[in-house]
Amino acid sequence: MANKKQEDLTSRQEIFAQNIALGMTKTKAALKAGYSPKTASNTASSLTSDKNHKVQERITFLQKGAANRVMLSLSAHLLDLMEIRDKALSKGSFSAAVAAEVARGKAAGLYVNKSELTINKIESMSKEEIIERLNNLYKESKGALPDTKIIDLKLKNGTETNGAA
């Protein structure tokens, strides 16, 4: 049975509200609800303006429902993991208990994965750093890279080059 808020809306307004609650952009939600591509953007703005309380209330209602379902499933998930941990502890399976507890902490947002990416760009490296890096790459590749000798050349005007003219 539909609730009163849903009954007050046209079918296109209801579909629009559901699409917004799902996270679509306003224009895309209007298009999916069957509004004209020429007027979808303006219609979407109109439907979400202060003048259209019914649609706004329906969107809020749908979003709250979705948030409650997520919270219920998160709490159920955390309780399941706690039960798994407790059973593992009672059987002396400490590694399984620790894994379940870590999973609970991750699900609750207590752990943050942090990664760092370092990119060495040749433009920001000195000549000595480049030579050192090439030598390290040669050693790391166990000879897969050719062992070459770096030649420093001086041009007639006194500027240096490393084999590139």
DSSP track, 10-66: -HHHHHHHHHHHTT--HHHHHHHTT--TTTHHHHHHHHTSTT-HHHHHHHHHHHHHH
Task: Identify the three-state secondary structure at position 148.
Answer: coil
Domain extent at residue 127: 122-161
Residue 126 has a pLDDT of: 83
Q: Indicate the pLDDT class of residue 38, thresholds 50, 70 and 90.
A: very high
Whether 15 is in a domain gets the answer yes
Q: Mean pLDDT score of the chain, rounded to an integer? A: 79
Residue 1: band (very low, low, confident or very high) from pLDDT cuts 50, 70, 90:
very low
Confidence band, pLDDT 50/70/90 cuts, at residue 139: confident
Query: Last residue of some domain: 61, 83, 98?
Result: 61
Taking residue 108's Cβ as centre, other Cβ atoms within 10 Å add up to: 13
More confident residue, 85 or 142: 85
Does residue 165 surpass a pLDDT of 60? Answer: no
From 33, 61, 89, give the residue that closes a domain: 61
Number of domains in the chain: 2
pLDDT score of 69 more than 70: no
Task: Tell me, yes or no, whether 52 lies in a domain.
Answer: yes
User: Do the domain assignments include residue 30?
Assistant: yes
Considering Cα of 74, then 77, then 79, then 82, what sign does the dihedral take?
negative
How much is the pLDDT for 71? 63
Q: How far apart are CA 125 and CA 136, in angstroms?
A: 15
Q: Given the structure tokens 């298009």, which residue do they identify?
A: 31
Give residue 5's pLDDT band: very low, low, confident or very high (50, 70, 90): very low
Domain presence at residue 45? yes
Inside any domain, residue 127: yes
- 83-136 pLDDT tens trace: 888 998 999 998 988 888 888 888 888 777 777 666 767 777 888 888 888 888
For residues 12-42, one letter each, b for 16 or more C-beta atoms within 10 angstroms of the residue's C-beta and e for the rest, the string is ebbbbbbbbbeebebbebbbbbebeeeebee
Boundary-marking domain end, from 15, 32, 61: 61
Please tell me the distance from the alpha carbon of residue 62 to that of residue 59, in angstroms, as a whole number: 5
The answer to whether residue 91 sits within a structural domain is: no
Identify the pLDDT of residue 111.
76
- The CATH number linked to 52 is 1.10.10
Identify the helix (H) or strand (E) that includes residue 161.
strand 160-161
